[in-house]
């Protein structure tokens, strides 16, 4: 009996309108949404990277498979990397059948996320337009629409008249250098508040007993039996992790980092087909709502959405040079502004509030690298390029299944690291960073 009472007391308060009123009236403080715990000496599994992917993996390990002796390690704070820097777009209108099935499952999980995690993630299913400026890109849009329809994903190609009905601010005349000839319309696409997703997964995972350790940097991964130095590399197995807060022994390490994926994998002696590129984004001052949908142009390398606060969020393609530096550049701002004005001449007087960059791990085929590696117990969920946020829930779910069952789930088997040995690449030309 006392056990139940203690468990009830330990439960974090549910978020609801009633709770808001009740706590507001009584002047109660909201408790911190996850615990601060001591780092233990041993865990059943360690997840490196406290972003949406790492937290989702830990959450689904606990919820779907009952594995709660898990630590999530992050060298900074939760959501400090790409999880808090992306442009928060979700969609499933990809080109490859593998990609469509995968991102469609992710969209389903995003749609039920607010209920599952009891947190308002501000999911806004506002539709998604991918503009075509040439005959060839229009052809790709038709191709994508057909692949989508075949898999039950709602996508269709629409013409300039329908585009201006949906988004009147777009210049659909024949005057621009790159006129808008049509678009792939994807009604289930939209935007989600990315910070809330991080906090939601963190809170739910913590609630089920997962430990979240911030400011805990992984210095090395301890392996034995491998063919490389110190027992690392193919044929070896993971025995522990060395961090700046002490050593941990664990049979399972899941690498859920972005930007540093190659460096973490090198600690286990695994080489990845990844180069790290920054992607710059920017946001304007807030104005009244005028853009009811997400607009993407692959040819002009820009995507635009308006937040609920009224700011326009712009993202671009990745910088063409591999670097870990996330400094902004004037070229980016100039090019971005030019492209946005080409699409929406009416926003020419708007001012940029700020710009930032995040690190993207690019793979040669614009598909992620997920699942097992030649090192036993070392799993990767990396190479997320420009599409990591929209894939976070399904990646967490599938990676948790891989860890719990020891087998690669069917949904992620096309994305295995071994595809680069066999040459079976998954060319995802529906990725935002690919020009059409």
Partner 1 sequence: MLLVPCPNCGPRNWSDLRYGGESHARPDPATATPLQWRGYLYLRDNPAGWLRENWYCRSGCRRWFTVERNTATNEFRDPPMPGDKRGAKA
Binding residues for partner 1, rule: CB under 8 A, are: 260, 262-263, 266, 271-276, 320-325, 327, 329-331, 364, 420-421, 423
* Residue closer to partner 1 (CB basis): 224 or 331: 331
* Residue closer to partner 1 (CB basis): 146 or 227: 227
Which of 252, 255, 254 lies closest to 44, judged by CA? 252
* Residue closer to partner 1 (CB basis): 266 or 341: 266
Phi, psi of 275 (to 5 degrees): -120, 150
Nearest-10 crossing angle of helices 194-207, 388-405 = 20
Shortest reach from residue 53's CB to partner 1, in Å: 19
Give dist(CA 91, CA 192) in Å, integer. 11
Shortest reach from residue 258's CB to partner 1, in Å: 13
* Residue closer to partner 1 (CB basis): 167 or 318: 318
Q: Could you tell me if residue 134 is left (phi over 0), alpha (psi between -120 and 50 degrees) or otherwise beta? A: beta
Shortest reach from residue 144's CB to partner 1, in Å: 25
Structure-token match 């468990």, residue found: 7
Give dist(CA 54, CA 396) in Å, integer. 7
* Residue closer to partner 1 (CB basis): 160 or 236: 236
Which of 434, 435, 436, 414 lies closest to 424, judged by CA? 414
Structure-token match 């906090």, residue found: 199
Shortest reach from residue 307's CB to partner 1, in Å: 29
- How many Cα atoms occupy the beta-carbon half-sphere of 310 within 13 Å? 8
Shortest reach from residue 276's CB to partner 1, in Å: 6
Shortest reach from residue 363's CB to partner 1, in Å: 8
Phi, psi of 271 (to 5 degrees): -90, 140
Q: Which residues contact 75 (CB under 8 A, 6 or more apart)?
A: 215, 216, 217, 218
* Residue closer to partner 1 (CB basis): 334 or 410: 334
Q: Which two three-digit tokens encode residue 297?
A: 């142009």
Give dist(CA 382, CA 362) in Å, integer. 9
Shortest reach from residue 328's CB to partner 1, in Å: 10
* Residue closer to partner 1 (CB basis): 77 or 324: 324
Q: Which two three-digit tokens encode residue 337?
A: 């502004």
């Amino acid at each position: 009996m006392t056990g139940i009472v203690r468990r009830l007391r330990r439960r974090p308060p549910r978020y609801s309108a009633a709770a808001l009123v009740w706590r507001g009236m009584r002047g109660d403080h909201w408790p911190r949404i996850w615990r601060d715990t001591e780092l233990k000496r041993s865990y059943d599994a360690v997840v490196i990277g406290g972003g949406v992917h790492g937290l989702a993996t830990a959450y689904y390990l606990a919820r779907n498979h009952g594995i709660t002796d898990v630590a999530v390690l992050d060298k900074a704070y939760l959501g400090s990397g790409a999880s808090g820097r992306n442009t928060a777009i979700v969609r499933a209108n990809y080109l490859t059948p593998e990609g469509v099935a995968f991102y469609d499952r992710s969209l389903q999980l995003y749609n039920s996320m607010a209920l599952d995690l009891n947190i308002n993630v501000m999911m806004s299913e506002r539709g998604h337009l991918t503009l075509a400026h040439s005959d060839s890109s229009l052809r790709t849009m038709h191709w994508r629409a057909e692949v989508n329809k075949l898999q039950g994903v709602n996508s269709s190609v629409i013409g300039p008249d329908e585009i201006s009905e949906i988004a009147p601010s777009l210049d659909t005349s024949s005057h621009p250098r790159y006129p808008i000839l049509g678009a792939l319309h994807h009604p289930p696409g939209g935007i989600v508040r990315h910070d809330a997703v991080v906090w939601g997964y963190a809170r739910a995972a913590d609630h089920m007993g997962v430990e979240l350790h911030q400011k805990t940097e992984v210095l090395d991964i301890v392996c034995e039996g491998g063919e490389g130095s110190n027992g690392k590399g193919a044929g070896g197995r993971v025995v522990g992790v060395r961090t700046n807060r002490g050593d941990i022994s664990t049979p399972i390490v899941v690498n859920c980092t972005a930007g540093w994926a190659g460096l973490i994998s090198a600690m286990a002696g695994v080489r990845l087909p990844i180069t790290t590129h920054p992607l710059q984004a920017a946001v304007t001052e807030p104005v009244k709502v005028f853009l009811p949908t997400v607009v993407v142009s692959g040819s002009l390398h820009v995507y635009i959405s308006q937040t609920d606060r009224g700011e326009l969020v712009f993202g671009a393609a990745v910088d063409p040079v591999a670097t870990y530096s996330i400094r902004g550049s004037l070229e980016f701002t100039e090019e971005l502004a030019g492209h946005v004005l080409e699409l929406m001449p009416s926003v020419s007087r708007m001012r940029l509030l700020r710009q930032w960059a995040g690190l993207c791990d690019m793979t040669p085929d614009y598909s992620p690298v997920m699942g097992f590696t030649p090192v036993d117990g070392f799993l990767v969920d990396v190479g997320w390029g420009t599409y990591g946020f929209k894939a976070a829930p399904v990646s967490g779910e599938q990676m948790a299944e891989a860890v719990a069952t020891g087998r690669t789930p069917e949904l992620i088997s096309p994305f295995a690291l071994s595809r680069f040995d066999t040459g079976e690449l998954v060319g995802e030309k529906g990725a935002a960073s690919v020009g059409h």
